[in-house]
Amino acid sequence: MNGCPNPSEWLLLVDGQVSEERGRQLRGHVEACRQCRSRLAAEEELLRRLAQPIAEPSPVSVERLMARLDQAPPVRRSPLGWVGAGALAAALATGVLLAPRGAPELQARGGEPSDAIGKRAGVQLRRVDDPSRAIEPGAAVPAEAAFFASYRNLEAVELYLAAFGLDASGEIHWLYPGFVDPDSDPFSVPLSPAEVPSALGESVRLESPAPGPMKVLLLVTRAPLRVSQIESLPSTRLTVGSLQARFPDASVEELPLILTRSSP
């Protein structure tokens, strides 16, 4: 095996989703690679935690989330539109967001941050019309689809999420935080400590994105970032490697998608 494998393969390995031959190759690689051995151990610990029994959300937590959604303003701004999320609230109420199986949880894979946020936190993007399944890398997604994020944070303090997409034309589309006022410079959104997957209280819909390849970048940091800290960078610097170098304490993950044209 030349070089280290794609980090996403470690979760597929421990979840039994690789062929027998590929499994032998991966197991052989970790015997000689300390870095990948550590990543594999982290994925095994993640699945162990997710496999533990979890409680259904309390009526109080569901009521609070639905109250937050009711207060979300139905404003729109290119390149981002905030939309209602009744389906999201219903999904949380029925517990489907707590299902631990499905697509791999997004984690830091742009290097080895000194404080290892990626081993303690993870973020997934889901579609509002299919909240029980995480969006898989390379998935074809309608341009008009609405998204929301779920996360885990095993730290004892808040972490912060900045999530945006870069479409085929090079335009930035903000998911979190909601960049709805051109005169504002909002901070990344807080992720409260959560041992089980929890949903953020808003869903988002991209405003007129260019169809074709799109990469979604998710940054989880210990200190909040402002939108301007990303917007000021040239598009060539909006990569996992460049962002990891600029924000060395961050967990940086890329989710490639294919946006299909809106229905007529």
Q: Give the model confidence (pLDDT) of 170-190 as tens digits.
A: 899 999 988 877 788 899 999
DSSP 208: S
pLDDT at 41 over 90: no
- So what's the pLDDT on residue 83? 43
Q: How confident is the model at residue 18 (pLDDT cuts 50, 70, 90)?
A: confident
Amino acid at 36: C
Average pLDDT of the residues in 107-118:
48
Span 61-70, pLDDT tens digits:
555 555 554 5
User: When comparing pLDDT for 180 and 212, which is higher?
Assistant: 212
Start-to-end CA span in the chain (Å): 47
Decide the pairing of beta strands 146-153 and 121-127: antiparallel
Please say if the pLDDT value at position 239 is more than 80. Answer: yes
